[in-house]
């Protein structure tokens, strides 16, 4: 059996573990707290850029508790594009347009999508791939 020292308390542990059982729990808790803090801060920065009208809509009980969950259940929690497990409801006509805002609670203006398809739909998080042309 190969042994090594815990990174935190320096007691002897089995390889390939990084921390002993006592330290692992506290380290995991610290990581979760740091992750939650970072996420909260990132959301705060993101929400400052968004129009409060849309934030209010997406947090409304009509959307959050009624329409979005009902639509997802009706579609069997499946992405309508690729068939993977859907996690988000997408507005076909964006609510940022006048026509889309009028249809924001229209059942037929929705689409169940997985995260990847939703990002693709909005052209988010795409890498800029620059290809060199060799002549």
| pLDDT tens sequence across 62-80 | 999 999 999 999 999 999 9
Per-residue pLDDT for 104 more than 70? yes
CA distance between the termini of the chain: 58
Question: CA nearest 75: which of 101, 35, 113?
Answer: 113
Q: What 3-state DSSP class applies to 68?
A: helix
Q: Which two tokens stand for residue 12?
A: 């002897």
pLDDT classification of 1: cutoffs 50, 70, 90? confident
pTM above 0.85, yes or no: no
Residue 132: the pLDDT is 57
Contacts of residue 9, Cβ cutoff 8 Å, sequence gap at least 6: 20, 22, 23
């Amino acid at each position: 059996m190969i042994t090594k020292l815990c990174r935190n308390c320096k007691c002897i542990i089995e390889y390939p573990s990084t921390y002993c059982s006592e330290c692992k729990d506290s380290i995991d808790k610290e990581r979760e707290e740091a992750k939650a803090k970072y996420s909260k801060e990132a959301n705060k920065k993101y929400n400052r850029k968004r129009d409060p009208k849309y934030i209010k809509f997406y947090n409304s009980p009509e959307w959050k508790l009624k329409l979005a969950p009902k639509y997802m259940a009706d579609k069997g929690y499946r992405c309508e594009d690729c068939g993977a497990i859907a996690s988000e409801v997408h507005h076909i006509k964006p609510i940022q347009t006048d026509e889309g805002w009028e249809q924001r609670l229209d059942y037929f203006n929705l689409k169940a999508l997985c995260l990847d398809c939703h990002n693709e739909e909005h052209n988010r998080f795409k890498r800029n791939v620059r290809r060199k042309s060799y002549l």
